[in-house]
Amino acid sequence: MKKIAFHTLGCKVNQVETEALIEDFVSRGYELVEFDDTADIYVINSCTVTHVSDRKSRAMLRRAVRRNPDALVVATGCVAQVDAEQLAAIEGVNLVVGNHDKENLAVIIEDYMQRGHASKEIFVSPITRADKPRKILYSYHHQRTRAFVKIQDGCQNFCSYCIVPMARGPVRSKAPEIVLQEIDQLVQLGYKEIVLTGIHTGCYGADIPDWDLSRLIAAILDQIAGPYRIRLSSIEPLELDEKLLSILAADRRMCRHLHIPLQSGSNAVLKAMGRHYDRDYYKQLINFAAARIPGMAFTADVMVGFPAETDRDFKDTYDLIAELPLSDLHVFKYSIRKGTRAAQMFVQVPEPEKNLRSEKLLELAKNKKLAFAKQFIGQRFNLLVEEKSGKDKYIGMTDNYLEVAVQSEENLCGQSVTVEIASADSQVITGNICIERR
């Protein structure tokens, strides 16, 4: 029995696709081992959203080669799709397989091994609208407490800084009946939280007549019974409408958490990015949604150091974030992505200035996260316990994205418990269990 190991970088979509690959290989008789173990095959599912993720992808390939120089080392994912030659040039890498061919990886690898894998090979094809996301059914409950369901792939916004449309192709939605089948199976397997994810989740249904994200969620809630909750992974500002907010407000199975990318609080920078909204639109959207759904957590992506971003532009971003009821930030430093429009913008922000701006936003995010948590002290929540953290200590997540630590002598992993928030500081939010686990 051949041993196979995986390492996944980047977004939740990549993670979902890796789990589908694991299912495929295990069903073919392969033994799954940890990436740091000695394996016969190593698969690195790469990410190219920033130059840092590019570098990490290459580093993991080299680590696999060092771990077992005789192993078959395979690169797949987004770097493989947009820059296959770069990965193929790494000594010890045998196969490079792009996103288009990723779902056929097991067949490609087995054919390659049967032919003696004497030379490097690259499998990269253009991604078209015909390449619909395939059905992913699990045969067992994977390690994570939350299950991620890929409902669509691709993006065609072509923001000026972003290489994702080149790596992922145009928007393609998974058929609603397949999404429903996948979620029903996951609920039957015992998953208590389902995360709807995609490259551009809010565009779901753009290529399916009469369907959109709101209708899909309504169908899930109407047709699938069981003790589960639904979380959205991310939604763009222009795609959060009254219909979707009404569903979030009306059904307790919907998690009160929205990740809504901001990217910048400067109108000039937003225009240069090609984001199609301004700071006032974003501000009104967040404030309206916060008033509509009490206790809602809002998180956001923010980029610093976009070409020609001035001190004033950054101040506009900082001030807007400080004003808004955001509970956390994902802060990114701009990095040049070959083939994007922003790569042609010659006024680059110096790296030390990017670092300084990033640090300021991270400190602001830390303060906002703590302030958000403190307002819930004394309130009760349903906590989905995700992992054990020390003796009799467990960590879980509320529907509104509070990570809470509780004490219990019983094994709570994967269970739902009602907790009362007892305290919150910069290190940890603690809760007390109120009733029996479920």
* Segment 395-407, tens digit of pLDDT: 999 999 999 999 9
The set of residues, in sequence order, having a beta carbon less than 8 Å from that of 287 and lying 6+ positions away, is 324, 325
Q: Which CATH class is domain 127-255?
A: alpha beta
275 half-sphere exposure, CB direction, 13 A CA radius: 26
Residue ranges of domains in the chain: 3-123, 127-255, 269-276+295-375, 380-433
Provide the CATH number for the domain formed by 380-433 in this structure.
Answer: 2.40.50
44-48, 76-80, 331-335, 385-389: lowest mean pLDDT where? 385-389
* Segment 130-188, tens digit of pLDDT: 778 878 877 765 667 899 999 999 999 999 999 999 999 999 999 999 999 999 999 99
What average pLDDT does the segment 189-202 reach?
Answer: 96
Structure-derived torsion over alpha carbons of residues 8, 14, 19, 20, reported in degrees to the nearest 10: -140
> How would residue 128 be classed by pLDDT, with cut points 50, 70 and 90?
confident
**DSSP 8-state code for residue 100:** G
Domain 3-123 has CATH 3.40.50.12160: yes
DSSP notation for 29-95? TPEE--TTS--SEEEEEE--SSHHHHHHHHHHHHHHHHH-TTSEEEEEEHHHHH-HHHHHTSTT--E
pLDDT of residue 371: 97
pLDDT of residue 438: 52
pLDDT of residue 129: 73
> Is 269-276+295-375 in the same CATH topology as 127-255?
yes
> How would residue 435 be classed by pLDDT, with cut points 50, 70 and 90?
low
pLDDT of residue 133: 85
* Segment 306-333, tens digit of pLDDT: 999 999 999 999 999 999 999 999 999 9
What average pLDDT does the segment 386-391 reach?
Answer: 89
436 has a pLDDT exceeding 70: no
What average pLDDT does the segment 275-289 reach?
Answer: 98
277 half-sphere exposure, CB direction, 13 A CA radius: 19
Domain 269-276+295-375 has CATH 3.40.50.1980: no
245 has a pLDDT exceeding 80: yes
pLDDT > 70: percent of the chain? 98
pLDDT of residue 138: 76
375 has a pLDDT exceeding 90: yes
pLDDT of residue 70: 93
118 has a pLDDT exceeding 90: no
Cα(331)–Cα(344) distance, rounded to whole angstroms? Answer: 23
